[in-house]
Amino acid sequence: MRSCLLALALVAPLTLGAISHAYAGDDHPKGDAAKQEFPDITKAELEKAIAAKQVVIIDCNGSESFKKGHIPGAIDFEAHGTELAAKLPADKATLVVAYCGGPACGAYKSGARAATELGYTNVKHLSAGITGWKKEGGTVECPPAAA
C-alpha cells in the first residue's frame, strides 16, 4: 500500500503538469479552433483586397474606438451589428474581415461569427487589429465631427 501511495505521489504532479501544459497558450484546443474557424489575414493581404474593392471590413472595437480611427471603409459593428445583413453584399463568398484591438483581443469573434451566421463563407481575422494596422503605417479614417 505504501509503495502505491508513493508511486501515485510521484506520478500525479507529472500528469497534472502535462494536462495543464496541453491546455496552455496556443496549444489550447479552443484557441486552435478559433484560428481554424477564422484564418488570419495579413495587413498586406488586406490592403490588396481593399485596393481591389474585394472585401468588407468589420470593426469590433466599439463605437468610441471607431470614432477615434478605424480602417477605411470599415463597418462599426457595435452601431450596425443588428443591421449587418443589410450592410454586407449579397455574394456570400465575399471576403469579410473582422478585427479588434490587437492579438490579445477576442472581440473580433462577435463580428466574424455574425457574418458566418448570415452565411458568409470567406471570413477572416486581422489579428494585428487596429493597433498593428496603425503601427505598420496603415491609414485610418475618422467620422467627421458633428456640427
Q: How do residues 88-142 score in pLDDT, each as one tens digit?
A: 999 999 999 999 999 999 999 999 999 999 999 999 999 999 999 999 999 999 8
How far is Cα 83 from Cα 44, in angstroms, rounded to an integer?
Answer: 29
Indicate which CATH number applies to the domain containing 81.
3.40.250.10
| Parent domain of 70 | 38-135
How far is Cα 128 from Cα 135, in angstroms, rounded to an integer?
Answer: 9
User: What confidence tier does 35 reach under pLDDT thresholds 50, 70, 90?
Assistant: low
Residue 60 lies in a domain: yes
pLDDT at 105: 94
User: What confidence tier does 143 reach under pLDDT thresholds 50, 70, 90?
Assistant: confident
User: Residue for cell digits 496541453?
Assistant: 22
pLDDT at 42: 96
Residue 74 lies in a domain: yes
Residue 33 lies in a domain: no
Tell me the pLDDT tens digit for each residue of 44-54: 999 999 999 99
Residue 55 lies in a domain: yes
Average pLDDT, the chain: 81
Residue 130 lies in a domain: yes
Residue 11 lies in a domain: no
Q: Could you give the percent of the chain with pLDDT greater than 90?
A: 71
How far is Cα 145 from Cα 101, in angstroms, rounded to an integer?
Answer: 23
More confident residue, 98 or 24: 98
Neighbouring CB atoms inside 10 A of 34's CB total 15
Q: For the whole model, what pTM was predicted?
A: 0.75
User: What confidence tier does 37 reach under pLDDT thresholds 50, 70, 90?
Assistant: confident
More confident residue, 74 or 143: 74
Is the pLDDT at 8 greater than 90? The verdict is no
Number of domains in the chain: 1
Is the pLDDT at 34 greater than 70? The verdict is no
Residue 146 lies in a domain: no
Residue 142 lies in a domain: no
